[in-house]
Structure 1
């Protein structure tokens, strides 16, 4: 049987190197027996480098591939991310907003606090069930310098410089994990009689053979589209944003506070992201060119930034919302932008890379005979994940009460809302999402808690029978007191975000 021992990844960047690291780390024991991971990367293709937000899953991914969290912070201009704040999404008023934090509601496994919050409604849902919104409001970090690497007093992900992250991963994968790095342009993809990719040829005359090829060539999709002819499935009838304007904004003073959450501020036909790194802010405007022209969108972006935007160059990036109809065909798997892309509203790009790389590494076919079986499982799981992410992103738009522009009005039209999401929203009129209700698959990216934060942050109301609240009122009061006590303890004990970043740079965190 044709053993699968040679993995060839075409394309670098975050997708290529993260995938290489996950696979190489998982199969280190096979290296002496002929197993290899090769990454072929063009020296002439720049990294897009816009997606600077991650999910908490990256902590376990970096830990598993053997990365020091201190080194990661120092070399990738990284900062902590504790969630996202959405401003002006519900009504459009300047002072309106809510948090989607990364901590679960207090006592989430024991009790659904939503019905009890709906009964009282004396504070925001986020503040009623978790300390994290207040932590972000006060500019605090999710841990102290004494907290060991990858552990936190509050749940966290990262903001990072994607270009520096790619270089950091390159060095680690080559030096620590034995990944072979070929720096060359691919000039030809050679296919076998059965349609598989046999090898890729480079412009400098190399022929690189492999048993499994992973396409990380970005929007070009050199293997999955050009060679394997897998079509792309657009979802621009659901998610309208098709262009991004991105800019890097320096701090007025090097000691300025660094936000420990992503800030998403709704505009006339899209939204602006604002991500704080230790040395700069990454700011960008995602918008629908069908509803507003680029000049107007750029004016909104520059108005948001203020006087500091005067001399800054804005980069325009097209967005093709959607994904491949098939992600694994023959012996080719698409990961990253080659698989698809959605607007970065909930930082889903890197987590999809992680999940794909993890599944490939864990279910790596031992031989070609069983590859198609594993490919079908991979395709089913990955298609489900993309569908649920589309649902979740659309939820933010569907819940809006804004009617000030065609963009917001069009987003609430029933024909633009996926059927599954429509069904869930009908259900949520009478039953709140919680634990495994409609979220019972291991492939879920966003748990029920995420839906709770968005739904009730945006003013959604669920008609809960009074008896359901009365039966657990005492437990709910106890859980609320636990949250109040935890909030007070964390607000008193956590350092400022920039203060902790400075200490990590100077002194390092405790190793695991």
Structure 2
């Protein structure tokens, strides 16, 4: 008779996805308690992790704190720095030689547009002379000046400006592995899964490994990356491609040393648009992580590498370039029978806006919060999970596509194809039509767990120069005096923060030497 309770979970695959999911599940399902859910993670000794996901969202702070990680220790062990958002360079229009345009997508606005006060219509009506990101946030100004989001006296995980981290993904996975096995009760098996055994119902019953024999469990988490050996191969769940919407299917990655020990470290990702894709530039404590994400339909590999090396400059001479194919799309189901996929085995869009680690957190948290300890609850939990993550991935695709489809660039076939209506999802086209004559509002976002919120859309739309014509509806925005006061309040707060906050590198040196206060 089939066991009716679910007490044992096996995770296949390590890396950031596997070990972060293990940490969240072990903590929330109390694996240290004999009556809690027991977790085993199986990681192959032969398959290296991808190791290029170096950006996170602010949710990672609460995740790390909840699993008992010391912030200063984590930063030292993972070469981590602070991230306050992203700067988008040359996305709006084709740059003239020797010039550039850029705007910021910071991690927070001073006034939340959905709940506090939406300044966008008043900015559109000319009540601030500054670019949208500078008018509505202090964080864009702080980032542009190379300042940190907090002080050394700010408690661990506390913030003056909202922040996340840039980190060394390989070191982060190793750090989580130690934490999971030493402090959270996760059992570790170093082996290859060579066979997946299934019950008559189709559910997975056990895994056979090459060196450790059979591993029995009641529930299985597939974190095996693009191989998807459980959900994709064993359970035969199909892959929904999105390469007709998102074109960037290849990445080149390079590790670039700093030019000097005191070189500035940006506290934001620098995303620069090029002829067939974009470069990321991420400052870690000991080096920069630089890469080029591009469309192989619009560029040869040789030309792509030349673009990357030209961006890095003379410092790229002699540096190795890693080529990484990207499988764009998502599973037709994320949860089937007693198996759920998390990470690249579930879906992958592209690294723009660094949503990958956040979506691992979101998936692991939902799995933990709705975990079916009784087998009778599997179907309900699976249906809810599938519906939630289908929506989350579709919404993420819309937001990523937004960066491309409203660009004024027409200097290559890549950009012309990106603005073609046939490549833009209907759901996004509908919103853009509405936003031509009405600024986005909270009513355009009808799901509580959408990954990208109203403020994010406003930063990208108006950073890219999207035209919203309010001339026929000026009378609907009658709080002009209040808006002026808020713009002035942001200016005043910015001046105070610029005087008080240390440089990013200066703070990092103190964190690495002394650490933060503990809360």
Q: Where does residue 265 of structure 2 map in the other structure?
A: 258
> Which of 456, 459, 471 is the aligned partner of 2:462?
456
Q: 1:15 to 1:107 in 2, by over 3 A?
A: closer
For residues 319-358 of structure 1, what are the structure 2 equivalents within 5 Å? 319-358=326-365
Q: Deviation per CA, 1:178-213, whole angstroms, max 9, x where unpaired?
A: 000111111111111111110111101421111110
Q: Where does residue 445 of structure 2 map in the other structure?
A: 439
Name the SS for the 2:125 alignment partner. helix
Q: Where does residue 224 of structure 1 map in the other structure?
A: 231
Q: Deviation per CA, 1:2-44, whole angstroms, max 9, x where unpaired?
A: 1111011010000000000001101227722253011011111
Q: Where does residue 119 of structure 2 map in the other structure?
A: 113
Q: Shift of residue 336 of structure 1?
A: 0.4
Q: Shift of residue 413 of structure 1?
A: 0.6
Q: Where does residue 15 of structure 1 map in the other structure?
A: 17
Distance in 1, matches of 2:302 and 2:411, equals 20
The answer to whether the 8 Å contact 1:398/1:417 transfers is yes
Q: Which runs of 5 or more structure 2 residues have no equivalent in the other structure?
A: none
Distance in 2, matches of 1:158 and 1:138, equals 18
The answer to whether the 8 Å contact 1:247/1:313 transfers is yes
Q: Shift of residue 137 of structure 1?
A: 1.0
For residues 89-488 of structure 1, what are the structure 2 equivalents within 5 Å? 89-93=91-95, 94-106=99-111, 108=113, 109-120=115-126, 122-434=129-441, 436-464=442-470, 465-469=473-477, 471-488=478-495
Distance in 2, matches of 1:282 and 1:130, equals 27
The answer to whether the 8 Å contact 1:242/1:287 transfers is yes
Distance in 2, matches of 1:474 and 1:317, equals 52
Q: Where does residue 86 of structure 1 map in the other structure?
A: 88
Distance in 2, matches of 1:176 and 1:490, equals 38
User: What CA RMSD, in Å, does the superposition of the two structures yield over aligned residues?
Assistant: 1.1
Distance in 2, matches of 1:144 and 1:506, equals 14
Distance in 1, matches of 2:405 and 2:224, equals 33
Q: Where does residue 66 of structure 2 map in the other structure?
A: 64
Number of paired residues? 510
Distance in 2, matches of 1:201 and 1:150, equals 41
Q: Which runs of 5 or more structure 1 residues have no equivalent in the other structure?
A: none
Q: Deviation per CA, 1:294-337, whole angstroms, max 9, x where unpaired?
A: 11111010000000101001010001111101000000100001
Q: Shift of residue 105 of structure 1?
A: 4.2
| Length-normalised TM-score, structure 2 | 0.97
Distance in 1, matches of 2:69 and 2:290, equals 28
The answer to whether the 8 Å contact 2:32/2:184 transfers is no
Q: Shift of residue 95 of structure 1?
A: 1.6
